[in-house]
Every structure is written in structure tokens, then in C-alpha cells.
Chains A and B, each alone.
Chain A
Amino acid sequence: MTALASTGPRPTTTWNTTRGPLGQSASMAARSLASIKHYPAQLVEFFMIPLMILLSITFFMGGQMMGSWQDFLQYAGPTIIAMGLFFAITSTGMGLYGDIKEGVFDRLTAMPVSRFALLAGRVAADMVKHAWALLVVGAVAFAIGYRAEGGAAGTAAAAGALLLFLFAVSWTMALVGLTAKSEEQIQTWMISLLMPLAYTSTIFVEKDTLPGPVQWWAQVNPMTALADTMRMFLGGGSPGAETLALLAWCAAILAVFVPLSLRAYRRKLTN
């Protein structure tokens, strides 16, 4: 009954497509985006928060802050969009947390697949979502009267700077998602880290209006580097110290958080 002899040669599979970590990341990213097909309402959800942040701050607070909401939109519109998308990076943490809970990563970890690709796929998928949200909310800002002096090229460069920044900071959330004990914990991290970071920068206000000690921090705050770089491109200027500061911040964040995330992944999945 149990004597199961082998009855012939084992069929083998020869797949020799060379797909390195980048190809594998793309497969993983496509996987994370596939749920949109099953739940298309997500396409609206991706831009609702940044859109509502832009509209409510512009219309309800803009007038008081700068006299007219139109002036405020012109000064802070793009950076408020940046802040809305900055808050959306929590999705990277939540997504990885969910993936690990579901058990799909156990199988993937026992496969000859790059660890980097497993994490980068999630980050890349979230970048696609952020780019989509940026497109929609940017179009709304244009529709209600925002105009960039820098024209199309300046707008594209500012969008590129924002996406680069989001890519780097998404890796901090990857680390949070891999080490968090609960989803609530991820939310708490978001509120307690991302909000102060955004509010102590030049996202909304000019640096000179901040209290003394905060001014120093606002100067080095990566969000200030981002806001100043975006304003420079949108104003039609040419890159200077603020752009260097932004690039330095992005490089530093990646250099620290990619290895930390990979380490956290190993600890979590192969303990």
C-alpha cells in the first residue's frame, strides 16, 4: 500500500531567463498592485487624503494665513500636496505588515528570490500609487488656479524631487512595518513622527515666522529641503544648496534604512 516506487525520470523545468533583483522587484510590485483590479475603488482612496488635505487647508486656513486663499495656494499648494503624500507612506508599513501576517512571505523567503526585491517590490508599488495621487491632486490644484512659473519642465522636476523623497522615506516605513507589533503601532509612529517633521519645515510657513530654536531645526529638516527644492523648480529657478541638501538626505536615508529593513526582514522571517 505504501510502496511507491519511482516510475521514471523526474520531469525537470529549465527556466533560464535572467531576472535579477530588479525584475523580481517588478514582479513583486505588480503583485501588490494587482488588488486594484479586484477593488477598483482603491484608485480613489489613494488620492482622497492628499486631496482633502490640500482643499481644506487652502480654503479654510489659507485666507487667514496669507490674506487670500489664492495667494496661499500659490505659495504652499505644491508643498501641501507633498505633505499629504508624505503621510501616505504609511501604506508601505501597513502593506509589509499585512504581507508578513498572511504567510505569503514564508514561501517567498524559502525561494531563491532576492530579499531586497521582496521589500523593494512593495515600495515600488507604493510609488506607483503616489505618482497617481500626485497626478490627480496636481490636476485639481491647477484647476483651482495654481500656476507654476517654471512651466511644464519646472513642474516635472518638482514632481520628480517629491517622488525621489517619497521613495527614500518609504524605506523608513518599511522598517516600521517589519518591526511593528500591531497595525495601531504603525499609525502611532506615523502621527508622532511624520506630523512634527512636516510642521517644523517650510511646507506651510516661511522659516522666519518659526520660534528661534525651531528655526535651526527647520533649516536642516529634510522636509524643508524638499519644500525649498520644489519651490525652486516650480519658480523656474536653477538647483542650488537646497537641491544638494535634498539629495544628501535621500542618500543618507536610503543608506541607513535599506540595510536596516533587510536586517529586520531576516530577523522576522528567518528566526
Chain B
Amino acid sequence: MKHAIEVRGLVKSFGEVRALDGVTLAAAPGTVLGVLGPNGAGKTTAVRVLSTLTSPDAGTARVLGHDVAAEARKVRERIGLTGQYAGLDPNLSGEQNLVLIARLLGASRRQARQRAHELIERFDLAHAATRAAAKYSGGMRRRLDLAASIVRRPEVLFLDEPTTGLDPQSRGGLWEIVRELVAEGTTVLLTTQYLEEADQLAHAIAVIDHGRVIASGTPSELKQTVGGLVLRLSPTRPEAAEQLVQLAEWAAGASARREDGAVVVPVAHAGEAQAVMARIGQAGVDLAGFGLHEPTLDEVFLSLTGHRTETDHQQKTKELTA
């Protein structure tokens, strides 16, 4: 079997809305496929089709060689799912949640307790094992949720925005767990809004927008389509922006653009940013601030589609006015 996940021309509509409009994806066994896109791009629908929760209108989706529509039962035997909203029983303790899942999957009482215990240790939940899941923090709930999806060690694991809303520390912890699972040979399909997350975890990335894959490749291939890094310059006087654009273009040989009073310069590497900064220093233009960062999802989007992701745009505006 060449691909653990193989999706061709997947179409799914809800009334007038075409949530998936011909999506094609593939993931090799034992790798992480990152599906990157803004809210409403179709990520969750894709995960729901692959985890047998939604049947597609057209196209085919195979998981471990089984068609998700025709052989749903066989697919369910071998996958794990962590949805965007915690699939836990809030009235049960962390341990009871895991025991329930193990029992439903055919474990004896003893096996179920043993597996729950293992997972609770591994996911650092021992201190809260008997507490109701409703009283868990966001990070703990995500860990328990992930634990619940690997109770029977699935061969393919679907994670739908597993770290949305988590603080950076919890996010890092979750990434660590995903890496371990992949090291054990699990194939993971992960959806995310964060380029950094896809970059950290994924062997291959598919960028989707309006239900279509608009770019795919390895993280480095994708970043090359945007440029290596992004230098953002905020002049003290707004009138100086135009001068900054000219200086940056002259120094970096790239096309700088103005954005909400700031100037954004795509650069290939840090050295190029340094050259731009030196040039600005020589010209004596005062800066209120500057920053060098990896291209964001927004910038990948802008370069791929010519339009922005709404969430990122709002965030950026907030950062600038802050």
C-alpha cells in the first residue's frame, strides 16, 4: 500500500455551500499530512468524510486501502479521531472516559483499566485521573481527548485543529505527543490554522481554501513560494513609508508592499534583512519598530490566492494598533 490516506476529487455540499470542491490528498504511511487553511476552508468536512462521519457527494476517499463510504466499518476499526470539540463525557472522570472507550472497543475490564492507566501516565493526567472531565483545563481536556483517540492504537489518526485555543506550552506538549505517535508508525492527518504547527509536525502540507487544495508540498517547498522570511517595518512618520519601500526594494531586490501603515518586505534569509536594515540606517529613516518572522498563514495565503484569511487579518490589525 503506497498511501495510508488517499483522497481523489472529493466533493461535499451542504445546501448551497460547496464545503469540498474536488479535494485531492495523499499521505504515506507513518507520516504527518498537515491540512492548512482558514476557518470555513473545508478542513473539518474533509476530516469528517475521512473518519466516516460524512459521506461525500462525489470522489473517493480511501483509508488504509478501504473506501470510507463502502467499507466504513473496516475504516472505523483502524482509525482514531480527535474532533475540533472535545469528544468526552464531561460527567465522567478522565479515567472513566478512557475505560468506557476501551470497553466499547472490546477490552476486558482489566485490560481497559490497564490501558486507561497507561494513557493517563503518558499524558500527564495522573493528578486528575478521578476528576470529572468537565473540571479539566483546556490543555488537559485536549490531552485527554487525544488519549481517548489512541486507546486502541489506531493506524491512522485524524486531528482536527488539535491545538486551537491552547497556550504555547500546552501546544508544545501536544506536538511532542504527536511526534511520539508518528515515531511509533502512526499516520496522522492534522488540520490547522497555524503554519508554524504544520511546519513543526508535517512531512507534507496541503493548503486548502474554499474547499480546494490550492498548494501542496513539503513545508520548505511551500515557504519558498512565499519567500523565506518576512521583514516588517513600522516607520515613525507615516510619510516615510514610501521611502522605506524604495530602500527595501533597492537593498533586497524584492517587491516590498505597504500594509496598514507598515512596510512588509519578503526576504530570502536573515542576511538579506540585515542588508535592508543597514540601508535604512544609512538613509537615516527613523523606525518605531521592526520584526523579522517566518511567513504566516496569512502571507502564504496572500501569495497563493491573492486574498487574505479573515482571522489573520483581524489579528494583524489588532497587533498594529496595540
**Nearest Cβ on chain B to A111's Cβ, whole angstroms:** 6
Q: Is B61 an interface residue (CB 8 A)?
A: no
B55→A270 contact, CB < 8 A:
yes
B106→A12 contact, CB < 8 A:
no
B91→A271 contact, CB < 8 A:
no
B54→A270 contact, CB < 8 A:
yes
Residues on the B chain within 8 Å of A192, using CB: none
B111→A15 contact, CB < 8 A:
yes
Residues on the A chain within 8 Å of B115, using CB: 13
**Nearest Cβ on chain A to B244's Cβ, whole angstroms:** 32
B108→A17 contact, CB < 8 A:
yes
In the complex, chain B residues 7-30 whose Cβ is within 8 Å of any chain A Cβ: 30
Residues on the B chain within 8 Å of A270, using CB: 52-55
A6→B185 contact, CB < 8 A:
yes
**Nearest Cβ on chain B to A88's Cβ, whole angstroms:** 19
Q: Is B152 an interface residue (CB 8 A)?
A: yes
Residues on the A chain within 8 Å of B91, using CB: 34-35, 38
Q: A6-B182, A11-B184 are in contact. Are A106 and B100 (CB under 8 A)?
A: no
Q: A103-B85, A104-B89, A110-B79 are in contact. Are A10 and B155 (CB under 8 A)?
A: yes
**Nearest Cβ on chain B to A230's Cβ, whole angstroms:** 34
A107→B81 contact, CB < 8 A:
yes
Q: Is B276 an interface residue (CB 8 A)?
A: no
Which residue from chain B places its CB closest to the CB of A38 in the assembled complex? Answer: B132
Q: Per-residue CB proximity of A1-31 to B under 8 Å, as 1/0?
A: 1111111111111011111000010011011
Q: Is A184 an interface residue (CB 8 A)?
A: no
CA distance A87 to B89 in the complex (A): 26
Q: Per-residue CB proximity of B130-154 to A under 8 Å, as 1/0?
A: 0010000000000000001100110
Q: Is B193 an interface residue (CB 8 A)?
A: no
A-B CB pair tally, cutoff 8 Å:
128
Q: Is B234 an interface residue (CB 8 A)?
A: no
Task: Return the contact of A110 from the options B31, B81, B92, B200 (Cβ within 8 A).
Answer: B81
B184→A112 contact, CB < 8 A:
no
Residues on the B chain within 8 Å of A5, using CB: 30, 183
Interface residues on chain A, number (Cβ under 8 Å): 42
**Nearest Cβ on chain B to A41's Cβ, whole angstroms:** 14
Q: Is B202 an interface residue (CB 8 A)?
A: yes
Q: A1-B200, A2-B219, A10-B186 are in contact. Are A103 and B87 (CB under 8 A)?
A: yes
Q: Is B107 an interface residue (CB 8 A)?
A: yes
Which residue from chain A places its CB closest to the CB of B160 in the assembled complex? Answer: A106
Q: Is B105 an interface residue (CB 8 A)?
A: yes
Task: Return the contact of A112 from the options B53, B73, B86, B132 (Cβ within 8 A).
Answer: B73
Q: Is B231 an interface residue (CB 8 A)?
A: no
Q: Is A108 an interface residue (CB 8 A)?
A: yes
Residues on the A chain within 8 Å of B101, using CB: 107, 111
Q: Is B113 an interface residue (CB 8 A)?
A: no
Using a CB–CB distance below 8 Å, which chain B residues touch chain A? 30-32, 51-55, 73, 76-77, 79, 81, 83, 85-92, 96, 100-108, 111, 115, 132, 148-149, 152-153, 155, 179, 182-186, 199-203, 218-219
